[in-house]
Amino acid sequence: MVFAACDVAYLRHAKALISSMDLVSPGYDFVLHIVNASEDELQGAVDFGDALTGTRLHVTGEAVTLDDPEAMRTYYACARFVRLAELLERTETPFLVLDADGVFVAPIDLDFTDKADAQLCLPIRGLEDGNNPLHLRVAAGAVWVRPLDSTRAFFSAVAHDLLGLFGKGEATWYADQEALARHLQSGTGNVVARNIKQKYVDWDFAKDAVIWTGKGKRKDLDLGYMLLRNCFDPDPELRMRAHAQWDAISRTAAMKPDSVLGRMFKLDRKGGKRSFAIYLPRLDLPWKEGAMGRGGPQAQTEDAIELRLWWKRFTMALSHALTRSGYFVSTIEIPAWDITPARVDQDGFDFAFIPHRCRSEFQTSRTPVAFYMQEFFRHVFVVDEDGWSAASSVYPVDADRLPGAVLGAWDDYRERFARGELASKMAQAPSMSRDDLLSKGMIPSGKYAFFPLQIPHDQSIRNFSDVSQLDALLAAAEAFGKAGMAMVLKEHPANRASANEYRMALSGQPHIHWSDANVHDLVRCSHGVVTLNSGVGFEALIVGRPVVTFARVEYDAVTHHATPATFWKAWKAAVTEDPDIRMTRYSRFVDWFLARHAVDLSRPHAASQTLYKIISRAMDRIEDGQDA
């Protein structure tokens, strides 16, 4: 929810703020608190809210009388922090608290901070800087807060201080910022406060902002801000004049097509509606038409149905995010082989999301598209303008440039694995202890390498490997045989018969063991994992095992690469690497992939943030006029 407070004089600013949000970031609730408004003015605000197309407006009011006009002006500025504590007591929904004289220029993407532990975010300028006056140590233009016991205690104390100052006639301008800084310094409520990202409180009116904040005289001196502010004014004549002024400026000045003003005026003129198509394969059919039998599709197991239902869950999440963003969305469920460039162009949407494909298969499409794919876990999907795995626009990933593991995905997945709550993508046997695995003959007694088999004709091998799985297996088997070390193989659960040729090729080799144990147990008990580019390699990162890859995949940024000729050298480098260095690399990659790059449906808040970033990138491509 978004919250702002104002007096009647600033009500026009507040309405412009709300109108701009309704255009570029619909789907949210806005709470507008008005001080000293008449009944007619309050009803006018309610009527204004009824006319919004994608925002639910809640109007509250209060009457306040202070003898000193300057104190009254100060109260208007502080009112949101006087009343925020009451709101936090009544909801479990996070609040974005704003100055009334801002303008939204991009959708709310929920990307307020990179700190996973943040409970409260606002501009912090140095709380302990004794050279700075107290009121300059924080700013209050944008504050994001989660309703928790800690934040409720914090803002209750802030409100109590402010009311005390006004009651005693001691409130001065910036009283709100002083109260915020004072309680942050004293640790009230033990609240965890972090800096909010500049794009949510942008006083410089930058291109990559979410909100242009009209601070002080800056809003009266910046032509761009004034034009955009007037574009959303409640006065129709002022809005028309703003459009006419923009048209004149854009004709006479060299304006960049992707400028904020160009984008916003264009959206306002068109009403903001863009159309998106999400193509979803019919989940009761195979991906390829050639896999259809004479009698129709083969029966699916319950586990295969559950695996595929995650595709439906993902498209529902994407559709919901698009709808909340104010766009027209159509989910088109047809056989996978009918999802072609010609079909997509014929349907005529502004943008399309395409499943299970890469750009190399969609080069003739004129419609801007992005490709989505289920990767590594049932609940994890990637969306990329070029494709998935090694076809994606992020490949190859530069591991040295990845940020630290600060978003919680690494710790979360490690804990879930340790508790046995992290399900593998494919159905597995019940988990066992190492002793039980040994007693049942499912693993060898000494050190072993684990080589999980992939389906040999799978796209991940056909498209992203220069080495056949058989050649990789033979090279690894020969190397481990010479070293006297065991190698454990596991058939792919979706196509066990595809392993027959490998059984024949490796028959009679005593150091080769076949196992049907839970893949996580085999990874956990192994000395290391060898793979072309299986999703099991990604799971091995979470466990911290050394990994050698023969093929291309996003996570090869942190593995050791091999060819059949260099395998033993790569294996030795992997298993002798300093474990601390390995775990640092792994943690950064896993946290980046799951929390920043992919849509992880098992972590709804992170998934929502990533979806809104995906939508923002899609809108940029539409507005830039890019085609496929």
Answer whether residue 528 shows pLDDT above 60: yes
Q: What is the C-alpha to C-alpha distance for residues 540 and 543, in angstroms, rounded to an integer?
A: 5
Give residue 99's identity as a one-letter amino acid code.
D
> Is the distance from CB of 120 to CB of 151 less than 8 angstroms?
yes
| DSSP helix, strand, coil percent of the chain (3-state; round to 5) | 45, 15, 35
pLDDT digits (tens, 9 = 90+) for 74-118: 999 999 999 999 999 998 999 999 999 999 998 898 899 988 899
426-to-304, 336, 422, 429, 473 alpha-carbon distances in Å: 9, 21, 12, 10, 22
pLDDT digits (tens, 9 = 90+) for 273-308: 678 999 999 998 888 877 777 777 778 888 889 999
Strands (E), 79-175: 95-98, 102-104, 120-122, 142-145
Q: What is the C-alpha to C-alpha distance for residues 424 and 524, in angstroms, rounded to an integer?
A: 13
Q: What is the C-alpha to C-alpha distance for residues 371 and 14, in angstroms, rounded to an integer?
A: 39
- Three-state secondary structure string covering 484-548: CCEEEEECCCCCHHHHHHHHHHHCCCCCEEECCCCHHHHHHHCCEEEECCCHHHHHHHHHCCCEE
pLDDT digits (tens, 9 = 90+) for 222-270: 888 899 999 999 998 998 888 888 888 877 665 555 588 887 887 777 6
Query: Which positions ≥6 away from 330 have C-beta within 8 Å?
Result: 275, 276, 277, 278, 349
Answer whether residue 312 shows pLDDT above 80: yes
Answer whether residue 624 shows pLDDT above 80: no
> Is the distance from CB of 283 to CB of 311 less than 8 angstroms?
yes
The per-residue pLDDT for 265 is 84
The per-residue pLDDT for 627 is 37
Q: What is the C-alpha to C-alpha distance for residues 506 and 32, in angstroms, rounded to an integer?
A: 72
Topology adopted by domain 2-214? Spore Coat Polysaccharide Biosynthesis Protein SpsA; Chain A (3.90.550)
Q: What is the C-alpha to C-alpha distance for residues 285 and 277, in angstroms, rounded to an integer?
A: 20
**Tokens, residue 93:** 């929904």
The per-residue pLDDT for 216 is 66
The per-residue pLDDT for 625 is 64
The per-residue pLDDT for 300 is 82
Q: Which residue has the higher pLDDT, 364 or 386?
A: 386
Q: What is the pTM of this model?
A: 0.72
The per-residue pLDDT for 81 is 96
> Is the distance from CB of 158 to CB of 79 less than 8 angstroms?
no
Q: How many helices (H) and strands (E) does the chain have?
A: 21, 21
Tell me whether residue 136 is exposed, middle or buried, using C-beta atoms within 10 angstroms of its C-beta: 0 to 12, 13 to 18, 19 or more. middle
Coil vs helix vs strand at 111: coil
CATH node for 275-397:
3.40.50
pLDDT digits (tens, 9 = 90+) for 338-362: 999 999 988 888 899 999 999 998 9
Domain ranges of the chain: 2-214, 275-397, 406-597
* Mean pLDDT value of segment 16-36: 93
The per-residue pLDDT for 577 is 96
The reply to whether domains 2-214 and 275-397 share a CATH topology is: no
For residue 130, the 8-state DSSP code is T
pLDDT band with cut points at 50, 70 and 90 for residue 628: very low
What H or E segment, with its residue span, contains residue 380?
strand 380-384
Task: Kindly write down the DSSP assignment for every residue of 594-605, as one continuous string.
Answer: IIIISEETTSHH
> Is the distance from CB of 144 to CB of 95 less than 8 angstroms?
yes
pLDDT band with cut points at 50, 70 and 90 for residue 557: very high
Q: Is the peptide bond before 396 cis (omega within 30 degrees of 0)?
A: yes
pLDDT band with cut points at 50, 70 and 90 for residue 556: very high
The per-residue pLDDT for 620 is 85
Q: What is the C-alpha to C-alpha distance for residues 273 and 23, in angstroms, rounded to an integer?
A: 9
pLDDT digits (tens, 9 = 90+) for 381-391: 999 999 999 99
Q: Which residue has the higher pLDDT, 407 or 451?
A: 451
> Is the distance from CB of 22 to CB of 55 less than 8 angstroms?
yes
The per-residue pLDDT for 323 is 85
Q: Which of 114-128, 205-219, 381-395 has the highest mean pLDDT?
A: 381-395
To which residue do tokens 């972590």 refer? 603
pLDDT digits (tens, 9 = 90+) for 562-588: 999 999 999 999 999 999 999 999 999
* Mean pLDDT value of segment 194-214: 92
> Is the distance from CB of 599 to CB of 614 less than 8 angstroms?
yes
Q: What is the C-alpha to C-alpha distance for residues 489 and 469, in angstroms, rounded to an integer?
A: 12
Handedness of CA 204, 209, 215, 217 (dihedral sign): positive
pLDDT digits (tens, 9 = 90+) for 461-491: 999 999 999 999 999 999 999 999 999 999 9
pLDDT band with cut points at 50, 70 and 90 for residue 324: confident
pLDDT band with cut points at 50, 70 and 90 for residue 626: very low
The CATH architecture to which 406-597 belongs is 3-Layer(aba) Sandwich (3.40)
Least confident of 233-237, 595-599, 622-626: 622-626
Which candidate, 389, 354, 390, 386, places its Cα nearest to that of 372? Answer: 354
**Tokens, residue 397:** 């990933």
The per-residue pLDDT for 325 is 80
Coil vs helix vs strand at 423: coil
> Is the distance from CB of 546 to CB of 519 less than 8 angstroms?
no
Answer whether residue 127 shows pLDDT above 90: no
The per-residue pLDDT for 477 is 96
pLDDT band with cut points at 50, 70 and 90 for residue 272: low
Beta bridge partners, 487, equal: 449, 512
* Pairing between β-strand 211-213 and β-strand 102-104 as defined by DSSP bridges: antiparallel
Q: Which residue has the higher pLDDT, 298 or 405?
A: 405
Tell me whether residue 275 is exposed, middle or buried, using C-beta atoms within 10 angstroms of its C-beta: 0 to 12, 13 to 18, 19 or more. middle
Direct distance between the N- and C-terminal alpha carbons of the chain, in angstroms, rounded to an integer: 36
Kindly give the residue spans of alpha helices, DSSP state H, lying in 236-326.
236-252, 260-270, 302-324
Strand order in the sheet with 275-281: 328-334, 275-281, 351-355, 369-374, 380-384, 599-600
Residue 395, Ramachandran bin (φ over 0: left; ψ between -120 and 50: alpha; else beta): beta
pLDDT digits (tens, 9 = 90+) for 163-197: 999 999 999 999 999 999 999 999 999 999 999 99
Coil vs helix vs strand at 341: helix
Tell me whether residue 177 is exposed, middle or buried, using C-beta atoms within 10 angstroms of its C-beta: 0 to 12, 13 to 18, 19 or more. buried
Strands (E), 100-217: 102-104, 120-122, 142-145, 193-195, 211-213
